[in-house]
């Protein structure tokens, strides 16, 4: 039985209602338990529990230190391609967005990875849109094989696949798979995903199980907060995590906490989740799942990331770019638009203009190591592919590592499980 069966009988809407109606008494009862149920979790994310946020924070902080010590693992996303055949209303890479696109060659991928390695990273998340023509399974396998020797931690965030298609990627050296369900609300999911294979909600929901069957030993899940009610999403992701811990127990599980960020297409969040809600959710997830990794990306601003870190975060990205070639300028000579799977010149795209094409200023784009020419500022041509979304914490990886040390934690650049088994 897959999680889809459990999900279909999950009383998530009534648990979300129960959460809204919870009082301080039931919150305290839940806090007194050594093992929490999903109903207890709903109590901990309630408005009543928000009144006890300081207490929740102290408990979550102590539990995190007890289970994980004073370390924060760092990782970097490496975007391979921003080609995509799906239309996801909230994503800059949606196929109908007239953005600047590129798929990095193997050499360009190696160049990006070398830059991240020189910064200290040993844990990499390879990200790509879903486009079989540009991002084939073979291309992914070659990228993984090319990086495996130097990267003890290699995870993927790419279009979902069949178990049999995942196996060669695991054999090539990938050990982690991240897949956001985006929203656990079927109705909102159908409205958000208007074209492409991603429309299949159940297929996506079962992805972590297929990945586990193929041999991935690190699994990452999450909704994207800002599409449906955050309490409903949190209850569903908690149920999903609980299922995976029971059924995919050899894998190390992480839960991410992404909130929607501005992107091409200028989609506005449908629901609001405040900073305080996010802090409460970090605490509740930690108390519910003492050993699960909690991941916070550069979607959140620096000050908030610094404040959330001690509550239960165990893993952070740093110095991130969400455009392919963002770390070195790789691929800049191949920028184009893609229309119905065909590459067309980028000139007519509004995203070809500097200022729209990248969250970075043009002057920030480093020179290509091959000495390739760059459009002059007078030409106003963009020199970078379009990013998936705008990041909010623009600090360099070293600045983030320094901050982690100042907070009394040790930044760990390598995934420790992989290090132990290497």
Interacting residue ranges for ligand SF4, rule: CB under 6 A? 84, 86, 88, 91, 93-94, 129-130, 198
Taking the least distance from each CB to ligand SF4, the nearer of 91 and 346 is 91
Closest to ligand SF4 by CB, 343 vs 375, is 343
Closest approach, Cβ 181 to ligand SF4, in A, equals 11
Residue 340 vs 378, nearer CB to ligand SF4: 340
Q: How far is the CB of 97 from ligand SF4 (least distance, A)?
A: 8
Minimum distance from residue 127 beta carbon to ligand SF4 (Å): 8
Is the CB of residue 389 less than 8 Å from the CB of residue 122?
no
Specify burial of residue 199 (Cβ count, 10 A radius: 0-12, 13-18, 19+). Answer: middle
Query: Nearest distance from residue 178's CB to ligand SF4, in Å?
Result: 12
User: Is residue 59 within 8 Å of residue 49, measured between CB atoms?
Assistant: no
Q: Please report how close the Cβ of residue 357 comes to ligand SF4 at its closest, in angstroms.
A: 17
Q: How far is the CB of 154 from ligand SF4 (least distance, A)?
A: 19
- Residue closer to ligand SF4 (CB basis): 54 or 266: 266
Nearer to ligand SF4, 129 or 331 (CB): 129
Cβ distance to ligand SF4 smaller for residue 43 or 207? 207
Closer residue to ligand SF4 in complex, CB, 19/94: 94
Q: Which is nearer to ligand SF4, 62 or 339 (CB)?
A: 339
User: Least distance in Å: CB of 387 to ligand SF4?
Assistant: 11
User: How near is the Cβ of 204 to ligand SF4 at its closest, in Å?
Assistant: 10
Give the nearest distance from C-beta 198 to ligand SF4 in angstroms: 5
Helices 163-172, 137-148: crossing angle, 10 deg rounding: 20
Q: Name the residue nearer to ligand SF4 (CB basis): 41 or 267.
A: 267
């Amino acid at each position: 039985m897959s999680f889809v069966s459990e999900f279909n009988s999950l009383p998530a809407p009534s648990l979300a209602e129960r959460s809204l109606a919870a009082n301080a008494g039931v919150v305290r009862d839940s806090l007194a338990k050594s093992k929490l149920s999903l109903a207890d979790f709903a109590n901990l994310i309630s408005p009543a529990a928000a009144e006890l946020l300081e207490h929740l924070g102290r408990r979550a902080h102590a539990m995190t230190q007890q289970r994980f010590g004073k370390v924060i693992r760092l990782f970097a996303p490496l975007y391979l391609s921003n080609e995509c055949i799906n239309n996801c209303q909230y994503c800059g890479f949606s196929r109908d967005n007239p953005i600047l696109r590129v798929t990095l060659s193997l050499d360009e991928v190696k160049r990006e990875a070398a830059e991240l390695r020189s910064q200290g990273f040993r844990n990499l998340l390879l990200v790509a849109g879903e486009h079989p023509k540009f991002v084939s399974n073979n291309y992914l396998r070659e990228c993984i094989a090319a990086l495996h020797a130097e990267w003890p931690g290699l995870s993927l965030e790419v279009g979902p696949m069949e178990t049999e298609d995942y196996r060669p990627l695991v054999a090539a050296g990938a050990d982690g798979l991240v897949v956001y369900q985006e929203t656990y609300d079927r109705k909102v999911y159908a409205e958000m995903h208007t074209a492409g294979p991603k429309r299949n909600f159940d297929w996506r929901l079962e992805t972590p199980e297929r990945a586990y069957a193929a041999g991935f030993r690190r699994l990452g899940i999450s909704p994207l907060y800002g599409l449906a009610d955050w309490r409903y999403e949190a209850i569903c992701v908690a149920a999903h995590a609980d299922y995976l811990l029971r059924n995919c127990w050899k894998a190390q599980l992480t839960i991410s906490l992404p909130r929607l960020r501005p992107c091409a297409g200028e989609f506005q969040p449908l629901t609001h989740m405040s900073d305080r809600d996010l802090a409460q959710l970090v605490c509740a997830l930690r108390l519910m799942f003492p050993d699960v990794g909690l991941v916070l990306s550069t979607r959140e601003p620096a000050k908030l990331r610094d404040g959330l870190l001690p509550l239960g975060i165990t893993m952070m990205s740093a110095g991130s770019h969400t455009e392919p070639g963002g770390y070195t300028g790789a691929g800049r000579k191949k920028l184009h638009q893609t229309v119905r799977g065909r590459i067309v010149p980028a000139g007519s795209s509004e995203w070809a203009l500097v200022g729209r094409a990248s969250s970075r200023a043009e002057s920030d784009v480093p020179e290509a190591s091959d000495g390739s020419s760059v459009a002059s500022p007078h030409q106003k041509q963009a020199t970078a592919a379009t990013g998936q979304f705008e990041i909010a914490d623009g600090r360099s990886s070293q600045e983030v590592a320094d901050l982690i040390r100042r907070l009394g934690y040790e930044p760990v650049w390598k995934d420790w499980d992989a290090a132990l088994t290497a």
